[in-house]
């Protein structure tokens, strides 16, 4: 089992140094998820000369993220003694893959088990891949459980177990690429990294379990590696972070990550939003939309996506559609209508299909692109708000009951344009 350090702690760098200095081969450090400075430090600690460390870190990043190598011995531009040293102290092992499911529509879902961090237990995390004609989107989790309690979201019924580390966030993307063939064939001599146009995962969305802005540092570190040209080289235009409305984190996201932003709006007045997205009591709609207006880099070419889950008789009237258009006036926006995905015990129903269409037509007529998310991964419970960890996983019978409930729809909010 791969061992790694807990990158959540503020004294991470000190921990890492101590572990490396102690030369603890029994506790190999996984290099995935370390930023450049941390990687350089780690190399210096095992004896790489300071002058070389920057260059070696660059080489390693390319092997790890361009080529997907898991084996130091295959890193041909690194001298053999150094490869041996790397092998002794570090690892690139992938996490345990507990389950892999493929839907009839091509959607894939992976269940990962990550080792305990500190005193905790192992945790399980789901990641979903959604292929479409013009893109392939990976839906990544940032936390196990969530501290927030949106009433329509299954993850919201599960207490926060812990934040995921930058390693665990990135691993979801790396293993998806391993499984989908997005890294070059290791035996094909001289083959470069897989160009953007040939990749299966073209877009990522932080729309799995958890609130990414309550795990900002780890999410930021992972997304900066995902978008780095020497890292996984995904364009920041193809990375979308979705928040329920953690206002103080919004400007930081634009300034420090620079990715696309999605807002889980779901209601057009504070009374209803207080009820269904309770963080609204802390940061209300006005404050949230102000933060959107001021989102660094927002423009007509870089619009904010507003997610709106369609709940029958709750937020789906034409009056709501009018209010939505009025509220978003002046904000470069797209509206993403998500048919509600039911789960056992949920108190809502999905809006009728013709109501969703009427709603969509109204916002379209008022100048907003408003795709309705088509059902994806229904048969493998891969849709929004259905992801959860082992502790809450359904038994087979419950699963079948839920599938039966899916007579209507199961859409997904994944969207990020190029
Ligand atoms: N915590 C973040 C990101 C994860 S949720 C957020 O709330 O934005 C990703 C999206 O799925 C959010 O828009 C969320 O509101 C939506 N969602 C959650 N449960 C859902 C359900 N049962 N049906 C449809 N969409 C749901
Ligand atoms: Fe948490 Fe997002 Fe679900 Fe709300 S919708 S409970 S913020 S994961």
* CA neighbor of 20 nearest in space, from 95, 82, 88: 88
C-beta 244 within 6 A of ligand 1: yes
- The 3-class secondary structure across 179-235, one letter per residue, is HHCCCCCCCCCCCCCCCHHHCCCCEEEECCCCCHHHHHHHHHHHHHHHHCCCCCCCC
**pLDDT tens digit sequence for 276-325:** 999 999 999 999 999 999 999 999 999 999 999 999 999 999 999 999 99
Distance in angstroms (rounded) separating the CA atoms of residues 95 and 5: 14
**Ligand that comes closest to the CA of residue 208:** 1
Pick the range with the lowest mean pLDDT from 89-93, 406-410, 414-418. Answer: 406-410
- Ligand 1 midpoint to CA 318 (Å): 22
**pLDDT tens digit sequence for 168-204:** 999 999 999 999 999 987 665 555 677 778 889 999 9
pLDDT above 80 for 335: yes
C-beta 264 within 6 A of ligand 1: yes
- The two structure tokens encoding residue 45: 């600690």
Please give the pLDDT value at position 385.
Answer: 55
Q: Quote the distance between the C-alpha of residue 371 and its chain's center.
A: 21
Share of the chain above pLDDT 70, in %: 82
What radius of gyration do the chain's Cα atoms show? 22
- Ligand 2 midpoint to CA 307 (Å): 12
Residue 163 · residue 215 · CB < 8 Å: yes
Domains observed in the chain: 10-91 (1.10.150.530), 96-412 (3.20.20.70)
pLDDT above 70 for 42: yes
* CA neighbor of 292 nearest in space, from 321, 325, 249: 249
User: How would residue 118 be classed by pLDDT, with cut points 50, 70 and 90?
Assistant: confident
- Ligand 2 midpoint to CA 264 (Å): 9
C-beta 385 within 6 A of ligand 1: yes
Q: Whose CA is nearest to atom 4 of ligand 2?
A: 150
Active-site entry in 126, 167, 168, 307:
126
**Ligand that comes closest to the CA of residue 153:** 1
For the chain, the average pLDDT equals 85
- Mean pLDDT score, 362-382: 78
């Amino acid at each position: 089992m791969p061992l790694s350090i807990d990158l959540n702690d503020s004294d991470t760098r000190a921990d890492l140094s101590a572990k490396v200095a102690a030369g603890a081969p029994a506790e190999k450090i996984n290099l995935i998820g370390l930023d450049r400075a941390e990687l350089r430090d780690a190399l210096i600690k095992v004896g790489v000369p300071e002058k070389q460390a920057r260059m070696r870190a660059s080489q390693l990043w390319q092997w790890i993220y361009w080529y997907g190598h898991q084996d130091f011995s295959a890193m041909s531009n690194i001298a053999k003694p150094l490869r041996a040293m790397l092998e002794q102290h570090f690892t690139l092992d992938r996490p345990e893959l507990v389950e892999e499911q493929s839907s009839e529509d091509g959607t894939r879902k992976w269940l990962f088990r990550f080792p305990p961090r500190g005193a905790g237990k192992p945790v399980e995390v789901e990641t979903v891949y959604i292929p479409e004609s013009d893109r392939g989107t990976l839906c990544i989790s940032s936390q196990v459980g969530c501290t927030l309690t949106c009433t329509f979201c299954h993850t919201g019924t599960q207490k926060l177990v812990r934040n995921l580390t930058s390693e665990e966030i990135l691993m979801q993307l790396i293993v998806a690429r391993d499984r989908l063939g997005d890294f070059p064939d290791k035996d094909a001599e001289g083959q470069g990294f897989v160009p953007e146009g040939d990749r299966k995962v073209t877009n990522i969305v932080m729309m799995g379990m958890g609130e990414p802005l309550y795990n900002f540092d780890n999410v930021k570190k992972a997304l900066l590696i995902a978008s780095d040209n020497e890292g996984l080289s995904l364009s920041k235009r193809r990375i979308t972070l979705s928040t329920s409305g953690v206002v103080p984190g919004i400007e930081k996201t634009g300034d420090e990550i620079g990715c696309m932003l999605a807002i889980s709006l779901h209601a057009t007045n504070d009374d209803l939003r207080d009820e269904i997205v309770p963080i609204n009591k802390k940061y209300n709609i006005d404050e949230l939309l102000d933060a959107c207006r001021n989102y660094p880099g927002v423009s007509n070419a870089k619009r904010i996506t507003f997610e709106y889950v369609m709940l029958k008789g709750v937020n789906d009237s034409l009056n709501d559609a009018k209010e939505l258009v009025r509220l978003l006036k002046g904000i470069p926006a797209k509206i993403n209508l998500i048919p509600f995905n039911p789960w056992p015990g949920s108190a809502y129903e999905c809006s009728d299909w013709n109501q969703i269409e009427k709603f969509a037509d109204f916002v379209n007529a008022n100048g907003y692109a408003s795709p309705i998310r088509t059902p994806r991964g229904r048969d493998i419970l891969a849709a929004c708000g259905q992801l959860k960890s082992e502790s809450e996983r359904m038994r087979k019978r419950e699963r079948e009951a839920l599938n039966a409930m899916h007579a209507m729809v199961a859409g997904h909010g994944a969207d990020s344009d190029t």
